[in-house]
Amino acid sequence: MVIDTNNLLICTDGFGAYITDLKTIKPLPKSEFLSVQDAKIYNDKLVLATNKGVWQYKKDPSNMYAIQRIFTRKDGLSSNLINSIALKDSTLFVGSDTGINTLNLHTKRLNSLLALYIAGVNFQNKTIQNNSTTYYKKNNSLQVQVASIDYSDTNDLVYVHEYGAGSNELKEFSNVDLSANTWYHIYITRNTATKFWSNSR
């Protein structure tokens, strides 16, 4: 594949991708062991269809390509085994072994999870130890003791504090005051009044 007037892209099946000016040849960073089935140029970006998702590279000031992002099933692809790609504006049409997907190359990945730190777990009133085996039982009880929750990324977060049946209150996360040794039923979400997306936690 022709990248520009001076360079070609060579794609291999299991040995990565390389850029050559027919005098020297250099591997694309971190592409070792990739099977590259297809490639497209988008402005200053190079996009690869691989056996490990869609790999996006960006040209740096020295005219070399650096890995910018890897799109996988975590970003909505139906499979990481990509056979072909087609580009229209900023939309990438992705052909995988399980169907056709679309990706917006400008989409940013958002951290949608809170970090939970578990202090202990009891099942059927017995503490579950590391490397232990526990079997399912009917009418079981499971208790999880949370040591702490990382709320460092709480911009526009709201949560529902359920006091009892039919008694709920929507609260902002900017002023959280949860009491110790108290049961809470909490549903956490982005504030859809200011965001275009929401996520339960």
Report DSSP letters for 174-195, one per residue: GG--PPTT----EEEEE-TTT-
For the stretch 33-92, pLDDT in tens is 999 999 998 888 899 999 999 999 998 888 789 999 999 988 888 899 999 999 888 788
- Chain centroid to Cα 48, Å, comes to 18
* Cα Rg of the chain, angstroms: 24
What is the residue whose two structure tokens read 């190079």? 46
**Minimal CA–CA distance to 158: which of 168, 148, 144?**
168
Q: Among 104, 124, 141, where does a domain finish?
A: 104
Q: Which of residues 161 and 137 earns the better pLDDT score?
A: 137
Q: Which spans in 10-151 are helix H?
A: none
For residue 199, what pLDDT is reported?
A: 35
Q: Are residues 13 and 95 in the same domain?
A: yes
Q: Are residues 129 and 164 in the same domain?
A: yes
Contact 178, 184 (CB under 8 A): yes
Give the residue numbers spanning the domain of 39: 8-104
Residue 34's CB: how many other CB atoms inside 10 A? 22
Contact 34, 17 (CB under 8 A): yes
What is the residue whose two structure tokens read 């001076």? 6
Q: Among 80, 104, 128, where does a domain finish?
A: 104
Q: Are residues 57 and 137 in the same domain?
A: no
Long-range contact set of residues 13-22: C-beta below 8 Å, sequence gap at least 24: 17/48, 19/65
Q: Which of residues 157 and 199 earns the better pLDDT score?
A: 157
Residue 26 lies in a domain: yes
For residue 197, what pLDDT is reported?
A: 33
**How far apart are alpha carbons 8 and 58 in whole angstroms?**
16
Q: Which of residues 166 and 30 earns the better pLDDT score?
A: 30
Q: Are residues 86 and 138 in the same domain?
A: no
Q: Which of residues 56 and 188 earns the better pLDDT score?
A: 56
Q: Are residues 75 and 149 in the same domain?
A: no
The pTM of the full predicted model, rounded to 2 decimals, is 0.55
H helix count then E strand count, the chain: 0, 16
Q: Among 39, 73, 104, where does a domain finish?
A: 104
Residue 65's CB: how many other CB atoms inside 10 A? 22
Judge whether residue 118 has pLDDT over 60.
yes
Share of the chain above pLDDT 70, in %: 68
Q: Are residues 51 and 15 in the same domain?
A: yes
The number of distinct structural domains making up the chain is 2
Q: Are residues 136 and 88 in the same domain?
A: no
